[in-house]
Amino acid sequence: MLKLFATTAFILLASTVHGDEINLRPGLWEIATTSDLLLLVPHIPADQMQSIKDLASEYGFEVPPIENGAAVSKACITQEMANQKSLPIFGQNSLGCVTKNVIRTGNNYKIDFVCDSPDLKGAGTAEGAISSTNSFTAKTKFNGTAQGNAVNEQADISGKWLSASCGEVNHL
């Protein structure tokens, strides 16, 4: 489950922007993550799920609602983040992960990442495209261990802009 948060995190990692590339619009965003791993969530006993939520909270994450193999959460991208002409960073350092080989060509990007913390070890990639100021899509792959359990998983992630106001949602 921790891998879910790592995967989501790396879709939103920083990269350099050049020329007339599309930048994400500031405001409230909906981030949807789907994976085979998330299909197993209904089978996790309540006490174990609470342990997962508690662990996620220690890393500054809130477990989003998960239904039909999809986790949907909301995030705020500030005007300052949008002005930086980069994809926002989300939880990278708190997970003990670092990025390598960040490449952005036009509106497409590829990121390699390596995680080395007591709870998350391994490596992965994130590839995606910013299709408009209001949307992006991506795929991630991760191979390693999460809390000592082997993980070889991929996820599909999509983001869509909802509104200019973030309301009570914290920024990334």
Burial class (CB in 10 A: 0-12, 13-18, 19+), 155: buried
Domain-located, residue 170:
no
Q: Residue 100's pLDDT is what?
A: 84
- Confidence band, pLDDT 50/70/90 cuts, at residue 5: very low
Q: How many CA atoms lie within 13 A of 97 on its CB side?
A: 34
What is the CA angle 85-106-24, rounded to 5? 35
- Confidence band, pLDDT 50/70/90 cuts, at residue 6: very low
Which pLDDT tens digit goes with each residue over 34-86?
Answer: 998 888 888 889 898 888 888 777 777 778 888 888 999 888 888 887 776 55
Which pLDDT tens digit goes with each residue over 72-123?
Answer: 988 888 888 777 655 555 555 557 788 888 888 888 888 899 999 888 899 9
Q: Residue 98's pLDDT is what?
A: 86
Domain-located, residue 168:
no
Q: Residue 10's pLDDT is what?
A: 42
Predicted confidence (pLDDT) at residue 13 exceeds the cutoff of 70: no
Q: Residue 107's pLDDT is what?
A: 86
Domain-located, residue 101:
yes
Rg (CA), the chain: 15
Domain-located, residue 112:
yes
Residue 73 to residue 23: CA distance in whole angstroms: 21
Q: Which of 25, 3, 17 is nearest to 102 (CA)?
A: 17
Domain-located, residue 172:
no
Domain-located, residue 171:
no
Domain-located, residue 169:
no
Of 16 and 139, the structure prediction assigns the larger pLDDT to 139
- Confidence band, pLDDT 50/70/90 cuts, at residue 25: very high
Total domains in the chain come to 1
**What residues make up the domain containing 34?**
2-163
- Collect all residues with Cβ–Cβ distance below 8 Å to 145 and sequence separation of at least 6: 120, 121, 122, 151
